Amino acid sequence: MHIRLDDVCTSFDRGRTPVLDAITLDIAEGEHVVLLGPSGSGKTTLLRCLLGAVRPDRGTLRIGGLDPADPAQLRTIRRRAGVVRQGNDLVLGLTARTNALLGTAHSWGVREWAAVLRGGTPKRFAERMRRLAENQGITPQLRHRVENLSGGQRQRVALVRAVLPAPSLLLADEPTSGLDPVTSRAAVDTLREAEGVTVVVSTHDLAVARQFPRIVALREGRVCFDGAELTDRAAERIYRGAAAGAEVPA
């Protein structure tokens, strides 16, 4: 899905303090982009705008030509999107398998509902579920309730849930938070393998960011870097030295 933001401004105090300040950004269909920047720079708010959870005070936003401010078009966007949120938002009391399947629930028929209620996996998702769970190293945990899993295991369940429906748009907010280097690499590989899917990932981890072909850095709600390669000097300016809105050279 093609993403286009033109002069998007968002605040939570009626415009007095912008959280996103005049953001103009074009992300091509199938492009993989990582959002980088210090805490409070606007990364999560930008992702929430793409999901229609936050509406811009000013400017225009289109996703696949659709306007998330329109409820009917927003439903279409959300059905085509896979999302990994901070905190996972998994459903306690359900198994990891059922939580992972919930991303596909809008398409279930009666027999598929019955299969899930029996603790199984609908046939058309079984092979993809098997492969994704294996890649993330959580196959043994699929039968356990999510409250009995570690934070890192829950994070990986949330990633499988987002990717399982084969979405057109994949949004991930800090998807490697709490993961060790090996599982973090597996998570990034899963995101990078989503060919033809528009992927937007938010992270604080420079090592993760550098695995993506395009890095967009935010500082105080403005884009300060947009490029393919980020040097250590540029990263230091993003986090410590650059004024809001000042362009950071690679």
Q: What is the pLDDT of residues 213-232, one digit of tens each?
A: 999 999 888 998 999 888 88
Give the global pTM. 0.85
Q: What is the pLDDT of residues 27-53, one digit of tens each?
A: 999 999 999 988 888 899 999 999 888
pLDDT in the model for residue 241: 62
pLDDT in the model for residue 15: 60
Does residue 246 register a pLDDT over 60? no
Q: What is the pLDDT of residues 82-108, one digit of tens each?
A: 998 876 789 999 999 999 999 888 888
Of residues 241 and 1, which shows the higher confidence score? 1
Do β-strands 214-219 and 222-227 pair in parallel, antiparallel, or remain unpaired?
A: antiparallel
Mean pLDDT across 136-142:
92
Q: Name the CATH architecture for the domain at 1-80+167-250.
A: 3-Layer(aba) Sandwich (3.40)
Cα–Cα distance measured from residue 184 to residue 82, given in angstroms and rounded to the nearest whole number: 19
Cα–Cα distance measured from residue 230 to residue 249, given in angstroms and rounded to the nearest whole number: 9
pLDDT in the model for residue 244: 45
Residues 6+ apart with CB under 8 A from 180: 152
Residue spans in the chain of domains classed CATH 3.40.50.300: 1-80+167-250
Question: Do 70 and 24 contact (CB within 8 A), yes or no?
Answer: no
